[in-house]
Structure formats: C-alpha cells, structure tokens
Chains A and B, each alone.
Chain A
Amino acid sequence: MTRLALFGTRRSLRILERNALVYRSQWLMLVSGFFEPLFYLLSIGIGLNHLVGDLHVHGRVVSYATFVAPGMLATSAMNGAMIDTVFNTFFKLKISHTYDALLSTPLEVTDVALGEVWWALARATVYGASFIACMALLGDAGSWWVVLCWPGAILTSLAFSCIGLAACTYVRSWQDFDLVTLVQLPLFLFSATFFPISLYPRWLGAIVSFSPLYQSASLLRGFSLGQFDWMMVIRAGYLVAIALVGLRIASQRFRRILTP
C-alpha cells in the first residue's frame, strides 16, 4: 500500500466498519431509510398516477407511476448520499472531531474521505434493493431490466456522496446547510425526475442536462423500461467523472482542515 494512492487505500474500509458500529446503536435511523421509498412511491406514484394517466416514452405506453418510479429512486439515492456526507460528515469533521483521533493511526486523510464514500455506497446498496423491491411489488417496474437500477442507484449515490463530501468541507456552521438545501431542491424539481425533459424549452433542457440527478434519472428510467441507447454510457461516465472530481476536492479540503 503506497502513500501515493490518490484516492485512499484498503484501510478506508475501517471507516465503513466504524460507521456500521456507531449506527448499529441508531437502528431507527436505518429503518427509516426503508420507509422513505415506500412514501415516495405511494404519494407521488399512486397519487398522481390517476390524475396524469399514461405516457408515451420512446414509442412505449407506460403508466405515470412506472415513468416516475426511477426518478424517485434517483432522488432517494441523492438524498441518502447527501444526508450522510454533508450532515453527518460535517458533524464528525468540525463538531465531534472524530477524524482527529483517527488520523493518529495509520489511516490517511484520503482513507477517511474514501471510507465515508464506502459507507454511503453500502447504504445505497441496501436502500436501493428495498426501493426496487417496492417498485416491483407495486407494479411500477417497467421490465425485468429493473434489476440494473440497483447498480444504477449505487452509481448515483457514488456521484452525490462525493459531491456532498466536497460540499461539507465548505460548510462553516449549521446555517450554511440552508445553502445545501437551496441547491438540492431545484435539482430535485428541475431535473426532469417527474416529467420528461422534452416538456422544457430547448435552452432550459440544455441547462438541465448538466444536472447529475437528471442524468441519473434518465439512466435508471432506461434500465427500468429496458430501453437502452449509447447515451446511457455517457450518462454513467458523467456520474463517474463527477465522483472522481468530487472525491479529489474532498480529499484535498480534508487535508487542509484536518492536518494544517
């Protein structure tokens, strides 16, 4: 294991171990993660389904619930990753000083940042599975390809946990979390998560295409409906690129804060 490992070493898995141990005593928070997808699917899916009716997606007619479910999955993955990285990591970074003690062990700053990403991914793995199971049970899965939404949700979590990790290093106090919400809410509302991007004027659609949530929702929708095209490779690549840049920024900022 060389110190030059740009994104951390195998030791980062210790952070995963640590978080699992600490959150074991906060199991209620973990259980709530299972209910979130159900709430999304029941409220927006079933509720709006009757009002909106069916939609045409690339020549296929699908119910609104089927159309919106992958968008909700993407949103749920984003929220989960952001809560974990922005809020919880901020607390450990600047309030409880958890990392200060950790860095007196062989762990490096990059291991700590990467470890928090592992944790977000572990949670996304569990929540993603439960969300997709709910989709299938409620008849909102567009095809058997929906199983690909699972790695898709994990990829979404990867991108947003890295963004969140970088963002949390800029948070100075609890008030600054309003700024995070200020970014997260329009991202949720304008990323064509619950209607097709074709409804937007061209110029707005072009802006929206930069939204990682839009790319994720489109990717997951393609998976759920079993409609594949080359754009999906670009979408996935975009999310990976965001993750790499975010993690790099996060590691550098962590280093400045923790080992000045």
Chain B
Amino acid sequence: MTAERVVEARHLVKRFGSFEAVKGIDVAIDRGESFGFLGPNGAGKTSTMRMMSAVSQPTEGTITIFGLDPRTDGPDIRRRLGVVAQEDSLELELSVRLNLEMFGRYFDLPRRVVRERVDELLDFAQLTERADDKVDNLSGGMKRRLTIARGLINQPEILILDEPTTGLDPQARHLLWDRLYRLKREGVTLIITTHYMDEAEQLCDRLVVMDRGTIVAEGAPRTLIERYSTREVVELRFSTDDHEEFHSRLSPFAERVEVLPDRVLLYVNEGDETLMEIHAAGITPSSALVRRSSLEDVFLHLTGRTLTD
C-alpha cells in the first residue's frame, strides 16, 4: 500500500523583487512522515515553510496540500494545519489559557470543544500550573511550548515547525523533542526546519538539505551520512594561525580532508587507527577528537561550508 501524499511541490519558486529565495525545488511528503528541511540561515527554508502553510503563494511552480490548491482553498487547508512559526507572536497581555481558547475560536471550534482541548494541551505543554498567568511572564521555553500547543488546538493532520528549538537551552530542547516524538507516534505528519544537525538526526525520518534556495541532497539522515561521508571523523587542532598548511601533509591519511578556520577534519573509517598513524608520522596536533560522522559533515561536503556560517 502506498502512503497518502499530503504535500506535493513541483518546481517551487519564491521571489521577492529580484531576490530569489527558493529556486525551483521539488518536494513530496507522505502522511505520518516526519520530514526535515536542513540548511543554514538564508537557505530558503522559511519561504518554503510559508508556502507549505498556505500563507504565501509561490511565484512559480505548483504546490498542493491534502491535494488542495492553496490559491483557492487556503482556509480549508489551514483548517487542517498547525503552524509553529519562528516567532512566537503570542498574545502577551492574555493568560496562557486565553491564548489557547482564543486561537481555537479562529478555527470556528465551539467553545465547549475548545475548553476540553485546552486542558489536554496545557497538560501536554506542561503549563497546567501556569494556565492563568500572563504570557508575558513566561520563560522562553514555556512560550515556545505554548506556541506549539496553540498550533495543536485544531488537532492538525500536519504540524509545521520553523526552527522550533532555536534559542532554547538544552533541557528545554529535549523536552520539546519529547513532545514532538509523542505527536509523531500519534500519526501527526511533522514538517520541521532546522539548522541544528542533531535535531534533524533526532526527529526526521527523511530530510532535504537546502542551500541558497536549492535542494542539494535528499534522504534519510543515516543514508545521507553513508552516502556523503565516511564512518568516522578525526578532528585535529594545531597551535597555528593557519590550518591550511596541514592540508597536504594530512591528505595521505584520509579519504578526504576539510580545513576549517580553527581545525582540520579527516574523513576516515577507523578514527583511532588514523590517529595512531598520524602520531607515528611525527605530526603532533594540540588536540584530537574522534567522532562519528553527522549531517554537519554531509552539509560541509555538499556545500563547502558549515551550517552555522
């Protein structure tokens, strides 16, 4: 049985004046999937998200959501979507509870239904004890959880999250991830943008790597790592101003060498072995680290830049 297509975009282009933010991408997302857009700031992720949210219209190309055209069926599409934008834009003057209740009203939900759901969502977002506090007084992590809870008030079939954990401390991030796993288990389709590779690895079944408005790679996180990187990476730092000078000296030890401003990365299969060989050859880095390959390495390989550039 083939899964139901919930989002299908063909040759999607978004232009703002002469600036082309999205340059003709193709994306297909199935029901129940958790799908990621990984890329640095300015890659065109948010523009893509806004088109998938049926909020902004593509300049060129077509997009269908639930098989509907956002140009003509915007309200009917958005009724079935939950959107968590980068900015919380909550009603700061209102209480946590009223924020959720009012949002439910925008979906034409009866008050009785809204009240029931609000109690569940407060529990889900771990905000029950703060229900009657003004939103202005909440911490950043709490506001973010409230924004996600708000996006769930209409029990959406797709939840779209734009940089959901940017600016949160590690503890708040893990709590959020946990909530998102729960939604995934309940069958909600998740569409997530992030510039954190660990987030993409943790949450996404499948993802596309975006750079400068185009898709440079697509697949499951593990598949991408296997395809574009080696099993392990040796990170070496030297006490020097220019790591570039080590490029040629280290090339014989690795399949590929990447030089960053503050360190050299060696792409190898057995990191510890490589490290011993380097020491044996009389090369002495000031620090050395062996780790597994990540999506960060995939991105570096594909674009020549790091995700946080």
Q: List chain A positions with a Cβ less than 8 A from chain B.
A: 1, 3, 11, 14, 17-18, 21-22, 25-26, 96-98, 100-108, 259-260
Partner-contacting stretch, out of B22-30, B92-100, B263-271: B92-100
Measured between beta carbons, the chain A residues less than 8 angstroms from B248 are none
Give A101's nearest chain B residue, CB to CB.
Answer: B89
- Quick check: is B253 within 8 A (CB to CB) of the other chain? no
In chain B, positions 243-279 with a C-beta closer than 8 Å to chain A are none
Residue of A nearest to B14 (CB): A260
Distance from A91 Cβ to chain B, minimum over Cβ atoms (Å): 11
Contacts of B83 in A (CB 8 A): 104
The answer to whether B87 and A259 have CB atoms under 8 Å apart is: no
Interface: B91 (CB within 8 A): yes
Q: Across the interface, which residues of A come within 8 angstroms of B105, CB to CB?
A: 14, 17-18
Which of B74, B85, B89, B108 is the one whose CB lies under 8 Å from A108? Answer: B74
Alpha-carbon separation in the docked complex, A106 to B53 (Å) = 11
What 7 pairs between A and B have smallest CB-CB spacing? Answer: A105-B106, A104-B83, A106-B75, A97-B89, A101-B89, A259-B56, A106-B79
Do the beta carbons of B108 and A11 come within 8 Å of each other?
Answer: yes
Total A-B pairs, Cβ < 8 A: 71
Is B55 in contact with chain A by the CB < 8 A criterion? Answer: yes
B102 CB-CB contact with A under 8 Å: yes
Query: How far apart sit A103 and B70, CA to CA, in the bound complex (Å)?
Result: 13
Q: Contact string, B45-82, partner A, CB cutoff 8 A, digits 1/0?
A: 00000100101110000000000000011111011010
Q: Mark B140-170, 1 if CB is under 8 A from A, else 0.
A: 0000000000110010000000000000000
Are A3 and B93 in contact (CB-based, < 8 A)? no
| Inter-chain contacts of B102 with A (CB < 8 A) | 17-18, 21
Q: Is the CB of A26 within 8 A of B89?
A: no
What is the chain A residue whose CB lies nearest that of B160?
A104
CA distance A3 to B108 in the complex (A): 16
Nearest CB of chain B from residue A67's CB, rounded to whole Å: 42
- Using a CB–CB cutoff of 8 Å, the interface residues on chain B facing chain A are 16, 50, 53, 55-57, 72-76, 78-79, 81, 83, 85, 87, 89-94, 98, 102-103, 105-108, 150-151, 154
A103/B55 in contact, CB under 8 A: yes
Question: Which residue of chain A lies nearest to B16 when distances are taken between CB atoms in the complex?
Answer: A260
Closest B residue to A100 by beta carbon equals B89
Also in contact, A104 and B92, with CB within 8 A (given A3-B74, A18-B102):
no
A10's nearest neighbour on chain B, judged by CB, is: B108
- The reply to whether A259 and B106 contact each other, CB–CB distance below 8 Å, is no
**Contacts A3-B74, A11-B108, A14-B105 given: A104-B55 contact, CB under 8 Å?**
yes
The answer to whether A22 and B106 have CB atoms under 8 Å apart is no
Neighbour of A98 across the interface among B50, B89, B151, CB < 8 A: B89
A98 pairs with B91, CB closer than 8 A: yes
Q: Which residues of A contact B103 (CB under 8 A)?
A: 101, 105
Assembly CA distance A107 to B83 (angstroms): 14
A259 near B55 with CB under 8 A, answer yes
Tell me whether A105 and B89 are in contact (CB under 8 A).
Answer: no
A25: nearest residue on chain B (CB-CB)?
B93
Write out the residue numbers on chain B whose beta carbons fall within 8 Å of the beta carbon of A259.
50, 55-57
Given that A21-B102, A259-B55 are known contacts, is A106 also in contact with B78, CB under 8 Å in the complex?
Answer: yes
